[in-house]
Chain A
Amino acid sequence: MRLREIKALPKALFGVLALLAALARADQIEYTAYTFNDNGHNHVATTSFSLLKTLFEKTRLVLDIELDQTTIPPLDAFTGASRPPRQSKSPFVKNRGQVIAGVQRDVFANTEISADYYFSQEVDYQSQSVVGTLSQSFAEKNFTVELTGQYTLDSVGEIRIDGTIVNRGKETHSAGLRITQLLSPVAFVRMGVDAQRDHGFLSDPYRNGELGGDTLQEHVPDLRFRGAGWIEYDRYMTTLRGSWSLEYRYALDDWGLASHMLWLKFNKYVTPDWIITAQYRYYIQDGIDFTGYSAGDPNAFFKAEDYKLQNSEYNFVGVGATCYLRAFCRNHPTWDFLRRSSVALKYSRYFNDATQQKNFAGNLLESRLRFEF
């Protein structure tokens, strides 16, 4: 391909995407691409497409399609990667497809209901979920209460050494309460509580553990209750032309795990069309010890290498920039329909404290193109 053709490619791609958005007559269309790499040589590439469209006067359709490809390196003692042992000397590559379809409807002036269906499929995992939400505003929408309920049915597959797949079931019931209160013309607070009950095969089928000198497949209890409370404060900074938010979340479960999370975000206009963002998130958890598990399951144990169940702490830092396309519309009136659309690029790094546990570090790159009309 000649250089001139290569230079024309982004313009052509952008034109096609804008045309698709216009043809769909959507309120909002979003294309997002993610890539993730970590120091265990795991790689994930994701592309997603989302659409919001008003169908009737008070009803909106939401559609989200996501495709991703995960590459897990060959099995070795160092990574202990979670993957089938079959063809263990080759990378394990699998694709996943996901669809979320939902409707939102304004029932009364201050009441909104929504229902979503979620479906995810990959070679050794399938998940389906239904979600219902009721949102009610009070006092001229100064105060909003949102109730959400969700039921999820998963089929957890295990690809065995001979290539056969064994599936086991898992079901999840979740509920959440979220409230939002405006505090002033420049600040609001959000807070909520979540609860979840997991039942079924909750182990990782590809993770093994030691029990009495034998190596056995990981076996954790088949029932788990989880709960969390969180609060978030958001504030606009008039003099700086920016905003900041701070979120704290506390979670605990009946397996004995407790965790704290603190997340600080900062956004600032550097020009009327460009926004830069910075964020820092800190997470810490106590490990799980099933010897004290109240159900007293004598066979329950976990593998010490399961990082998700150990004492751990993680840091997440990110920077990004968002550009509103109105910056380019001023000299091109025919492109004025793009004035609310934007392009964003974000880079984040997620890592742990290497002195306390097995070192982990990963890089996440996100690019997003959002058409809003």
Chain B
Amino acid sequence: MRIAATAAAAFSLVLALALGGCANVKPYEREKLADPIMNLDNGLGKQTLEQKLFSTREAGTGGGAGVGGGCGCAK
């Protein structure tokens, strides 16, 4: 439980720092942010084989919502 509290505190601190120190980027300033090189993995598939591969060996990977459900190959 102490680990969870520490993680939550660290996350909140990072969140506060990130949101407090950022500039307001205008839409016409986002050319580089929209460049494909900023998100090459943005495929249509919900879960890449890389992620499936990690979940076959790592008990701490996976979890959370937004990815495919379990499959036998993950065993």
Chain A residues proximal to chain B, CB less than 8 Å: 28, 30, 32, 34, 36, 44, 46, 48, 50-52, 62, 64, 66, 68, 70, 82, 94, 96, 98, 100, 116, 118, 120, 122, 124-125, 127-129, 131, 133, 139-143, 148-150, 152-154, 156-157, 170, 172, 174-176, 179, 181-186, 188-189, 191-196, 204, 206, 226-229, 231, 234, 236, 238, 241-243, 250-253, 257-259, 261, 267-269, 275, 277, 283, 285, 288, 307-309, 312, 314, 316, 322, 342, 344, 348, 350, 352, 360, 362, 364, 366, 368, 370
Contact = CB atoms under 8 A, between A and B. Distances in A.
A204 B10 CA distance: 35
Contact of B63 (A34, A206, A228): A228
A64 B59 contact: no
B44 A70 contact: no
B38 A236 contact: yes
Given A150-B66, A350-B54, 18 more contacts: A48-B45, A64-B44, A82-B75, A100-B68, A116-B46, A120-B68, A128-B69, A140-B24, A142-B24, A154-B69, A172-B69, A182-B33, A193-B11, A227-B4, A227-B63, A283-B58, A308-B58, A314-B57
Nearest to A35: B49
A286 B47 CA distance: 25
Nearest to B46: A100
A176 B64 contact: yes
B7 A120 contact: no
B58 A236 contact: no
B53 A36 contact: yes
Contacts, number: 226
Contacts of B49: 34, 36, 44, 46, 364, 366
Chain B contact residues: helix, strand, loop or mixed: loop
A64 B45 contact: yes
A142 B68 CA distance: 29
A150 B40 CA distance: 26
Contacts of A261: 60-61
A240 to B, nearest CB: 10
Contacts of B59: 257, 259, 285, 288, 308-309
B50 A142 contact: no
A251 B75 contact: no
B38 A185 contact: no
B24 to A, nearest CB: 6
Contacts of A153: 69
